[in-house]
Amino acid sequence: MKHAARITVRAAGAALAVAALASCATLTREGVVAGQDGGAVVVRQGTPLVISLEAAPTTGFGWTLTSDPGAQLWLIGGPDWTVDPKPEGLMGIAGTTTYRFRAKQAGTATLEFAYRRAWDDGAAPVKVVRYDVTVRKATFYDLF
């Protein structure tokens, strides 16, 4: 009888461990990569949103996030700059500035980025890109 009780306790312990691990797991099946020109973007709660913008920081210009992502989006990375592959001997080749967000809660948010020189705070940006983001509530069916 003691042996059977030990097996039942072990099985129950294993089941609890699996349930605990499953509750801690973050299930993200897809992310959204937004286009360079802004516009409307829809993302599911809990998934990443990646915005990559062409930039040439060697000219002094760079992208700055000028709006508050609000409660809907969480900035998890960026700005990260990646240089484009360049032919040998050339300098000043452009690259990409990337911002990464995670959709936190359902609702809408506006992300606005300004392209300007860092030392020209008072000057109007050369370019502004705006994203109107809708975070869709994650449902049970999104997990499968």
Tens of pLDDT along the chain (144 residues) come to 555 444 444 444 444 443 333 333 333 446 788 888 899 999 999 999 999 999 887 788 899 999 999 999 999 998 998 877 766 766 667 889 999 999 999 999 999 999 999 888 788 999 999 999 999 998 766 554
Place of tokens 């801690």: 24
Name the E strands within 45-106. 48-55, 61-65, 73-83, 95-103
What are the tokens at 110? 């506006």
Q: How far apart are CA 125 and CA 121, in angstroms?
A: 9
What are the tokens at 142? 């999104």
pLDDT score for 9 = 42
CATH number corresponding to 29-143: 2.60.40.2020
pLDDT score for 98 = 94
Residue 73 contacts residue 49 (beta carbons within 8 Å): yes
Place of tokens 């992502």: 69
pLDDT score for 23 = 32
Q: How far apart are CA 129 and CA 142, in angstroms?
A: 30
Residue 64 contacts residue 78 (beta carbons within 8 Å): no
Query: Which residue ranges make up each domain of the chain?
Result: 29-143
Q: Which amino acid is at 13?
A: G
pLDDT score for 120 = 81
Whole-prediction pTM value?
A: 0.71
